[in-house]
Structure 1
């Protein structure tokens, strides 16, 4: 089994929190991966050796400065009443709304959804900002969210 129910997901509350509840129709499009599937995707797409962003090795693509073009702040938009994803992110990621994305918190915690769902509910995903990486299926662009309220814009190479 590749996915678990959102109801079984340990961080389900970030999508059902009373301050920012995700509508049921969109909630159904957020698919937490099983631990085995998450670990496989993490190993193939993010890091073969490191379990989370805090322990990336110099061999992991996220640690190579040449993969990142710039770093911008996202925290002020997250804390504001503005609901849209920061413009610099939508300029960097010019994907169609139906592109499958993977929001990777760590080796055993990966969410799959569509770009449109992430754009609409990005604040929910970032309740946990401990180094998650956003990648797209068969896409080079990547976002790496930092605990200091910045995000690195780059490409996987």
Structure 2
């Protein structure tokens, strides 16, 4: 599978990385890589689901729909609203990946951004301007995080 990208300035949600209140450095923007729809679909089908196209559609057979996939729940909204840019504490303790670990922030089947773990950590608030069930995964790691509009997130292990 060859992953292809679209330039960040052509990404339809690019404004989330250009918000004046949450500036993203040019160095970090170089590692924020929106996938083309075809590449996003391939990543989603391989790592998330080959049946459902959005989190709320997960069904039997999808690892994310299994009750035992998610082990802990916590709130992200209060950390997002604070002046502190640190990840929520439980999330930071759950995922301790090397900085350069490739991650996918999956909004839905055709909207996925590839980045590095350290870039996500520094800019996580920007990614969460859209919070309708995105899932954070790394192909090289088993941990996963699903963010919910309720302001909560679930920590789990991919099946």
Task: Indicate the residue corresponding to 1:129 in structure 2.
Answer: 131
CA distance in 2, matches of 1:96, 1:60: 27
Counterpart contact for 1:70–1:153, Cα < 8 Å: yes
Q: Does 1:94 align with 2:110?
A: no
Counterpart contact for 1:54–1:131, Cα < 8 Å: yes
Divergent runs of 4+, >4 A: none
CA distance in 1, matches of 2:41, 2:125: 24
Task: Indicate the residue corresponding to 2:158 in structure 1.
Answer: 156
CA distance in 1, matches of 2:61, 2:74: 24
Task: Indicate the residue corresponding to 2:30 in structure 1.
Answer: 28
Task: Indicate the residue corresponding to 1:75 in structure 2.
Answer: 77
- Give unmatched runs, 5+ long, in structure 1: none
Report the secondary structure of 2:126's partner residue.
helix
Between stretches 111-120 and 82-91, larger displacement belongs to: 82-91
Counterpart contact for 2:47–2:139, Cα < 8 Å: no
Task: Indicate the residue corresponding to 1:115 in structure 2.
Answer: 117
Deviations 1:30-86 (A, max 9, x none): 000000000000001000011111111122111111011110001000001011111
Equivalent residues, number? 157
Task: Indicate the residue corresponding to 1:49 in structure 2.
Answer: 51
- Give unmatched runs, 5+ long, in structure 2: none
* TM-score, normalization by structure 1: 0.98
Deviations 1:72-107 (A, max 9, x none): 001000001011111111111110111000000000
* TM-score, normalization by structure 2: 0.97
